[in-house]
A and B are shown apart, each in its own frame.
Chain A
Amino acid sequence: MPSLGTSFGRGGATTFQQDLQNADCIVIMGSNMAENHPVGFQWVMEARERGAQVIHVDPRFTRTSAMATKHVPLRAGSDIAFLGGIANYILQNDLYFREYVEHYTNAPVIINDEFADTEDLDGLFSGWDPEEGEYSVESWMYDGMEIHGSAGQREQGFKPTKGEASGHGGHGGGLLHGEPPAEDRAMQHPRCVLQLLKRHYARYTPEFVAETCGCSVEDFVQVCETLVANSGRDRTSAFVYAVGWTQHTVGVQTIRSAAIIQQLLGNIGRPGGGIMALRGHASIQGSTDIPTLYNILPGYLPMPHTESYGDLDRYIEANTSPTGWWGHFRAYFVSLMKAYFGENANADNDFLFKSLPRIDDDNSAYWTVEQMLQGKVKGYIIAGENPAVGHANGKAHRLGLSRLEWLVVRDVVEIESASFWYDSPEVESGELEPEAIPTEIFFLPAATHTEKDGSFTNTQRLLQWHWQAVEPKEDCRSELWFYFHLGRLIKQKLADSEDERDKLIKALRWEYPTHSGIQEPDAEAVLQEISGQEIESGKFLSGYPELKDDGSTLCGCWIYSGCFKEGINQTARKKPHWEQDTYVADEWAWAWPDNRHLLYNRASADPDGKPWSERKRYVWWDAGEGKWTGLDSPDFEEDKPPSYVPPKDAKAEDAIAGDHPFVMQADGRSWLYVPQGLEDGPLPTHYEPHESPFGNRLYSQRANPRRQQNKDLAEDPYNPVADEPGADVYPYVVTTYRLTEHHTAGGMTRSVPYLAELQPQMFCEVHPDLARDVGLEHGGWATIYTSRSAIEARVMVTDRMRPVRMDGREVHQIGLPYHWGKRGLITGDSANDLAHMALDPNVHIQETKAFTCGIRPGRRPRGADLPRFVAELREQARSRLEASVAEPPMSGRTSRTPSAPGGRREEDPHVEPEEARKPAQ
């Protein structure tokens, strides 16, 4: 989560669900919490019962809207305009929390005079390189500072880390400096962050917001007034979001927008405030912290890059921040290598750093699928994920799987990703024939959570242990079993290998005790390794401050260090909440880091260390005891007084002043403006979705110039957009979502009889006007189509799905749940087959929450007629586009060139970034 990471220092929700009860106002946006996180929603209801305002901003009226005190509909994909409008309202009316902003954020910091804003460059920031299709970010820096990992380091073989890997996986910003940044405490300097923000957002007026988002000026202003009235010393407001914000080509910047509002209002680090990121899977936070992600190692340590070919010292230097807790990067990394390779990693061999594999800029899941389609990926292991249904453009994924040499699928039921070779839309259409598919497939049945021990990290960074209840039957096994024994077998087979490439796998420390008849590895032994130990004595570490950089400690994930302190599985603590002193319940499981539930909680006190108000006290400085105290583990050095001023040349945490609460950031402040760590700009800017029926009201640069797309990929054609001819073939906005009774790609719920009965069939939500215009009948069938595919769904006619009016025309929005596929007790077409694979540049996440489509009544064509139908529509759109190119342009500023099927281009006379864009890699 580079958005929260770059803003505050850690890539996780800043607060915890139970604390929502203390909010005076809760804005839920990009989330349908009542239906998708229903049990967590009880804390929103607690707040409402206590008189809090609950605002739901969403294209659909859902059960969350029904329980809110206010619902504001908006156009899917216009969130940054709405949030930027709130920031503008706060700034123009001087309603920000002055003392908080001045002391705790980077608002006073002065920015490089070479920086130019999107307002100056018609939708681009300074540093845009049209050749590379990316930004060079030097001009975004603080005045007088160098970017971390640049200049000299590049010549020495180190490329600045990018995207999620920069700023440590979007996890705390690094600055290369020894001095505090230049600043103007009065915040009047024209290049200070506060003034830059004011200018950046000046055009986001209530009228602009209403026109862009399709809401009313009154509704929008009411949201601003409610938020402001419920923020300050005595009151706090919280934001809640989910993938309704994430799944856009501007997903990271959308979340950043909320981070800016919450900083301006002084709502971070305080009870009832914060940004609650709601995650969709039991351990999706955990799988980012201990990543099964290509670009980071556990604890957000960047994977070495192919362009980083120096030695260990260079890698450490490039990733160590002189100030803040990232000052101990070497200790974190060396302790990980000791956990991975034991005595085989030592100071004499650079802890095996030079043998580690290197990544490129993008080796993410969608990139891998492109490689599969080209036959470059031969083998693939899928464990507990269903890309054939759950990933955007399902057809591209299924075709990719059919070109593998071998595939392993591990799941509890036979999911679509295992059965694509004999039961898929492509087999139905004749595009795939089983006899012609070379892929060797192993389906291995998995164990459920009740059949194994282990910990999940939930949406609030809480590690909760689940105990095994029963033994798995027959061939069912845990992933712990599978990967442990797979590694054991491979090591055994390569034990005598002299080949240099087998050095690392032979050096791997891979000994875990096993139990029961099936030789299940001991999950607690793995958790012990994650938590960390002193190697010589075997003593369990109590937290990351105990990690050493000399190889005398091992730790599998430094931010989880201490989860097994004193030899006790802290994640398995289950003291009932009624036996605990406060609602924080810090003896239930264990939150990273250091059992802190509310992050940055030093900010719950004023610069002098006193609570901002009695009503909002949480953590404060006890001058008598000389330490921080309160309801939670203080997110600050316990004995560092508020008056502490770092001595000159202080390093690491010693360089963080007593009134700077954001201890992971190099300057101890939260970042309104992000000088380093994001691919697409230091500030969020309104762009249209990759596919949208509208142009950008602000700039001729229509969509995020840095978004990833691959125009050359035949399997992923795009719809014409905005006023391009052919866009009218796909005139509607479509947004996908989840239902209470199903879970993502459906593998865990379409197989459950009760759930299948409760939500039996794929459907689409359409407004009565659209139903009338197109001829759709409630309960009847509709075919929905894009350049990628066409699907059928039952029609639900409802005014919950409102049309928006913009540029004098009305545009309808269509809602699609995405749980169905061809397997299970209930089957149906997959909404994701319609979606494209253009991505957010920071995190490589697809835009399934806003793209364009067409709809017509009736069932979709069957068999070979389906791809023919899709191709004909695509051809129809393209021929309109080409016909228009043959004619003279309508206006001088429009340069039109035909492009790939379903082509698209920008109307941008001076930079043509779209044309220069690289494929997604």
Chain B
Amino acid sequence: MSLSKLLESWPAVRQLREGDPLGLGRAVQSPRSRTLVPRIDEAEHVVQSVCPFCAVGCGQLVYVSDGAITHIEGDPASPISRGRLCPKGQASKSYADSPLREYKVKYRRPYGTSWEELSLGDAMEMIADRIIRTRADSWEWKTEDGNPANRTMAIGNLGGATLDNEENYLIKKLMTALGVVQVENQARI
């Protein structure tokens, strides 16, 4: 290496020559860091989403490659959050691929001492059968006072504050048609 090249590669010189006097940009790049690119650059597509935690409603950008989420960050276009996310929102990707995430149905039989495997299809059939049975066994046409009731008081449904409007809509619609009135969610708490 010639002396001039050696001199030019000296960081202090580079800082001055490359217009980076504070040494915070190009001047301190190594060959490796010069070739690094943000992982979002490699994403196949990006989806606009909304943070699932509190009700501020921050915008999120979800980056996807090969059918998997590669990154989630704040959406600068949102007039509410302007690109910011709190620690929970920033950890959304880790929430979606948590090491504790469950991917399979688990079944515990009455008086059982461990979880067992069950297919999703069988679980759905069994749950539908139990609703039909419990509902039939407990149906109330009238209250004790003889007023109309048209309901079952032996089934309840809990949850909704973390769900989508469309999901809550189907829950209330289905449960009302089944005569289930004990439909509640975290808004009560």
Contact = CB atoms under 8 A, between A and B. Distances in A.
Does A pair with B?
yes
Given A293-B185, A357-B176, A752-B95, A421 B158 contact: no
18 contacts: A39-B81, A278-B55, A281-B162, A379-B130, A383-B160, A385-B161, A412-B101, A442-B107, A444-B105, A445-B102, A480-B167, A529-B169, A583-B79, A749-B91, A751-B95, A751-B101, A754-B87, A825-B99
Interface in A249-295: 278-294
A225 B25 CA distance: 51
Interface in A530-580: 530, 556-557, 560, 574-578, 580
A39 B85 contact: yes
B145 to A, nearest CB: 8
Interface stretch (B5-13, B29-37, B118-126): B118-126
A477 interface: yes
A753 B132 contact: no
A17 interface: yes
Q: Which of B58, B130, B183 has the most CB of A within 10 A?
A: B183
A454 interface: yes
For the side of the interface on B, what is the size category? Answer: 35 or more
A384 B159 contact: yes
Given A376-B153, A752-B95, A444 B126 contact: no
Given A40-B56, A284-B55, A414-B102, A17 B91 contact: no
Contacts of B137: 378
A381 B174 contact: no
A435 interface: yes
A37 B177 contact: no
Interface residues of A, number: 168
A365 B156 CA distance: 9
B113 interface: yes
Interface string B48-88: 11111111111110101001110010001111111011111
Contacts of A483: 167, 170-171, 174
Contacts of B86: 38-39, 740
B163 A380 contact: no
Nearest to A560: B165
A292 B186 CA distance: 9
Nearest to B126: A442
Contacts of A364: 184, 188
Nearest to B66: A470
A456 interface: yes
A134 to B, nearest CB: 18
Nearest to B146: A309
A359 B165 contact: no
Nearest to A501: B139
A445 to B, nearest CB: 4
Interface stretch (A73-81, A485-493, A878-886): A485-493
B53 A383 contact: no
Nearest to B53: A743
Given A356-B150, A470-B69, A744-B186, A37 B54 contact: yes
Given A357-B179, A380-B156, A466-B48, A40 B186 contact: no
Interface in A498-527: 499, 501, 504-505, 507-508, 510, 521, 523, 526-527
Contacts of B177: 340, 487, 504-505, 507-508
A212 interface: no
B107 to A, nearest CB: 6
Given A378-B154, A485-B124, A450 B49 contact: yes
B108 interface: yes
A594 interface: no
Interface in A417-457: 418, 421-422, 434-445, 448-452, 454-457
Nearest to A456: B50
Nearest to A577: B79
Contact of B165 (A454, A489, A743): A454
Given A291-B172, A470-B67, A523-B166, A378 B138 contact: yes
A117 B170 CA distance: 45
Contacts of B38: none
B99 A298 contact: no
Contacts of A504: 150, 176-179
B3 interface: no
B188 A844 contact: yes
Q: Which of B100, B101, B139 has the most CB of A within 10 A?
A: B100
Contacts of B134: 378-379, 405-406
Contact of A358 (B102, B131, B181): B181
A527 B62 CA distance: 23
Closest 5 CB pairs of A and B: A454-B164, A458-B57, A292-B160, A576-B77, A577-B79
A87 interface: no
B127 interface: yes
A36 interface: yes
A307 interface: yes
A455 B179 contact: no
B55 A413 contact: no
Q: Which of A364, A377, A381, A530 has the most CB of B within 10 A?
A: A381
B128 to A, nearest CB: 4
A530 B166 contact: yes
A364 B54 CA distance: 23
A523 B164 contact: yes
Contact of B110 (A392, A440, A443): A440
A279 B154 contact: no
A384 B54 contact: no
B161 A284 contact: yes
A459 B80 CA distance: 11
A443 B153 contact: no
Contact of B103 (A475, A583, A825): A475
Q: Which of A465, A469, A526 has the most CB of B within 10 A?
A: A469
B150 A355 contact: yes
A323 interface: no
A740 B90 CA distance: 12
B79 A580 contact: yes
B171 A292 contact: yes
A111 interface: no
Contacts of B181: 294, 303, 357-359, 363
A470 to B, nearest CB: 6
Interface string A844-878: 11100000000000000000000000000000000
Contact of B149 (A280, A303, A306, A578): A306
B4 interface: no
A793 interface: no
A309 B157 contact: no
Nearest to A484: B170
A387 interface: yes
Given A577-B82, A752-B98, A377 B108 contact: no
B24 interface: no
A136 interface: no
Contacts of B123: 442, 444
Nearest to B89: A39
B189 A290 contact: no
A380 B104 CA distance: 20
A217 interface: no
Given A358-B148, A458-B55, A580-B79, A490 B178 contact: yes
Contacts of B172: 290-292, 297-298
A443 B183 contact: no
Contacts of B179: 357, 501, 504
Contacts of B136: 499, 501
A306 B145 CA distance: 9
B165 A283 contact: yes
A284 B173 CA distance: 18
A91 interface: no
A357 B157 CA distance: 15
Given A478-B167, A493-B129, A576-B77, A385 B186 contact: yes
A282 B159 CA distance: 13
Contacts of B104: 445, 474-475
Contact of B77 (A307, A478, A556, A574): A574
A354 interface: yes
